[in-house]
Structures are given as structure tokens and as C-alpha cells.
Chains A and B, each alone.
Chain A
Amino acid sequence: QVTLDESGPALVKPTETLTLTCTFSGFSLTTAGVRVAWIRQPPGKALEWLARIDWDDDKFYSPSLKTRLTLSRDTSKNQVVLTMTDMNPVDTATYYCVRAAPTTGGNYFDPWGRGTLVTVSS
């Protein structure tokens, strides 16, 4: 069974750096074709893709956010870490860790983690 679980602070201050960890099970990020991504959703709004890391350690970022985002991984712990710098109240959102379904060539996301709500406020 594939599961993903997000963890990190619930509250960050403006200008701070957010660090979120995704801990997953049921698959390995060293297996060819495996990809893990981050997606966020502001309260009451639509979904927004942030970044993706692949089995070969390739990384891809949203063009609008790439200067603020960094992905890393710890394959021994089955973890992916997302950092986002210079947080702003508009970054308040639920952040989801997802697997890009390998049977779909990494085009779509399944399954999703439960998400973690991050509020940016002083």
C-alpha cells in the first residue's frame, strides 16, 4: 500500500523559510519511473503544482515559484523535503505530497497525502 505523509510547522512568520517533509511508504524513490511532487491549495481555492523530484534526482519547479523552492531527498529514510523561502501570507495553504503515478508516465497524481495546513502570519 502506497502512503505519503506530510509534516512541518503549522505556523510560519512572513519572510521565514518553510521546510516540509514528506515521508512515504510502499515504494522506493530509487526505482526507475518513480516521481514525488508537492501541490498546494489555499483555503477555498484551486490546486497549484509546486515541484517534482524523480528517481534519478532530477528536479522540476513551478516557473512562477522556482526562485523560492528547493527539493531534496533522503532515500534511506524514504523522505522528500521541500523548502520555500521568503514566506508571505498569500502562501497560506494546505500542502500536499503526492506520487506521480508511474503507470501514467508521471503525468498524473495518485495517491495524495492527507495534506498539512501552513498559515503564514506574524
Chain B
Amino acid sequence: EIMLIQSPATLSLSPGERATLSCRAVLSVSNSLAWYQQKPGQSPRLLIYDASNRATGIPARFSGSGSGTDFTLTINNLEPEDSAVYYCQQRSRWPPVYTFGQGTKLEIK
């Protein structure tokens, strides 16, 4: 299994600011990485796949970048509704085994 390490654990920012979340893989995963958003009491929602592609209906304020072992989720012009825990996820090629990072909690104050 390829471990994913997310940082920071918690991020507190104000509306209108930019959030930068990091996900590091212990081994290269090429660009096979996704980001999910989980708001309190809700199921996770796919935001970004293949490192930089936005999922259907995701605003352009959300963007992903990176390849190999280092990935970033950037959220521009933060809104209060962006308060959530964000997870990164990858899939090992074969056999398929999926792993998630431990999450970054984003607080918008």
C-alpha cells in the first residue's frame, strides 16, 4: 500500500483568502490522485481526479496540481461553505488497492 501524508492537519483562513493543501505519497503514483471534500454530517464528494481534472459541477475556484509524489489542492477566494475536511486518495495499479490520506480540516472564519 502506498501511504499518503496530508498537511497541514488543520488550516484556518478567512473568506476571500486562498487555501493550499498538500498531499505527499511515499512512492510515485504518477498523476493518479484524487481529492474529496467532506462537510460535517455529509458523505465525501469527488472534487479533483487525475491530479488536476475537476469533477462535474465543481467550481473553478478548486484546482489541483502535481505528479509523482507531491500534490496540491488550491482553493481560491474562500467561501464559508468551503469549511470541510479534504482527503486525497490514490489507487495502486495491480492488484487494485485504494488508500486515503488522513485529511486536512479547513476552517473558514
A119 vs B97: C-alpha distance when bound (angstroms): 25
B97 interface neighbour in A39, A60, A108, A112, Cβ under 8 Å = A60
Give the number of chain A interface residues (Cβ < 8 Å): 23
Contact in complex: B97, A49 (CB < 8 Å):
yes
- Indicate the size class of the contact surface on chain B: 20 to 34
User: How many A-B contacts at CB < 8 Å in the complex?
Assistant: 61
Chain A proximity mask over B22-65: 1 for CB below 8 Å, otherwise 0: 00000000001010100000011110011000010000000000
Residue with the greatest number of chain B CB neighbours at <10 A, chosen from A52, A101, A107, A112: A107
Kindly list chain A residues whose C-beta atoms are within 8 Å of the C-beta of B100: 46-49
Contact in complex: B97, A47 (CB < 8 Å):
no
Chain B proximity mask over A61-104: 1 for CB below 8 Å, otherwise 0: 01100000000000000000000000000000000100001001
Contact in complex: A46, B43 (CB < 8 Å):
no
Shortest Cβ distance from A45 into chain B, in angstroms?
Answer: 8
A114 vs B38: C-alpha distance when bound (angstroms): 12
Contact in complex: B45, A112 (CB < 8 Å):
yes
Where the two chains meet, the residues of B that have a C-beta atom closer than 8 Å to any C-beta of A are 1, 32, 34, 36, 43-46, 49-50, 55, 87, 89, 91, 95-103
9 nearest A-B residue pairs (beta carbon)? A49-B98, A110-B46, A112-B43, A108-B34, A47-B100, A107-B91, A108-B49, A46-B102, A60-B96
